[in-house]
Amino acid sequence: MPSQKRENLLNLALEATDAERRAVPELNAGYNALSKTWEVIVQYQGDLSFLQEEGITITILLFNYAVLIIPEHLIDFVTSLPQITYMEKPKLLFFADSYGRSISCINPLQEGVRGLYGDGVLIACVDSGIDYAHPDFRNEDGSSRILSLWDQSLQGAPPPGYHLGSLYTREQINEALNAPNPEERYALVPSRDTTGHGTAVMGIAAGNGLAGEGATRGVAPKASLLVIKLGNPDPADLPRTSQLLQAVDFAVRYSLVMERPLSLNLSFGNNYGSHDSYQ
């Protein structure tokens, strides 16, 4: 019977038929049809160890919470115990990127024959670099979606007009992707995203979801990519605004040459400037 100690969703799930629960995954979460048991989260006081004698599995958590696996016929008994102050069923989890796409109104923009997927757009990311071998940044034929990768932290062949870092073209990246092993790949294009931040940011912006069969694609999965790994010639020092300005300049100039609209992400910043309350 319904109890005020239990959340409404759990009460509803307990009153539902097996067929009704199977039809609604949120109702069925926590129920094991084979063992006829319920997994629940409880807030409690005192001692619960005696419940083990009833065949109840107990996992004690901090701050007087516990996870119990209770035979279905004992749910009301456990709920009525004075030690139990609250009981709820577990909830299904999902990847947050799906929810983020939904609340950002991205999904409606990608519906129908006129769906917007970033075709013809250049997305530049000034960050910690990228895992250029990741499937989400490759086309279905395995070739790279990255048109250029400028790693400012690697000395070698900077872009024309600049004096730091090394520029790698799409052709060079494709050659590296075709290498027989990672050692030879990174010998050809040694740029790495050691923190993973730039890879994550670019995945949100433009990953095509190939690594997850389309389930985790980004906002503009058909856009072309421009990657700039911000860096300093001194590996012991942090990047400076001078490198940031050059990165932005390079991205804007590149988009003008390509004659493509540019979407530019900057994940670096600082807090210099006046901080008094009078300006």
Asked whether the beta carbons of 97 and 209 are under 8 A apart, the reply is: no
∠ at Cα 109 (125, 112), nearest 5°?
130
| C-alpha span between 125 and 266 (Å, rounded) | 6
Asked whether the beta carbons of 66 and 48 are under 8 A apart, the reply is: yes
Distance of CA 26 to the CA centre of its chain: 23
So what's the pLDDT on residue 240? 86
| C-alpha span between 57 and 55 (Å, rounded) | 7
Least confident of 93-107, 151-165, 175-189, 234-248: 93-107
Q: What percent of the chain has pLDDT over 70?
A: 95
What average pLDDT does the segment 12-39 reach? Answer: 94
What confidence tens digit (pLDDT) does each residue in 50-94 have? 999 999 999 999 999 999 999 999 999 999 999 999 999 999 886
Sequence-ordered list of residues with C-beta below 8 angstroms from that of 124, at least 6 positions apart, any chain = 225, 226, 227, 228, 251, 254, 255, 262, 263, 264, 265
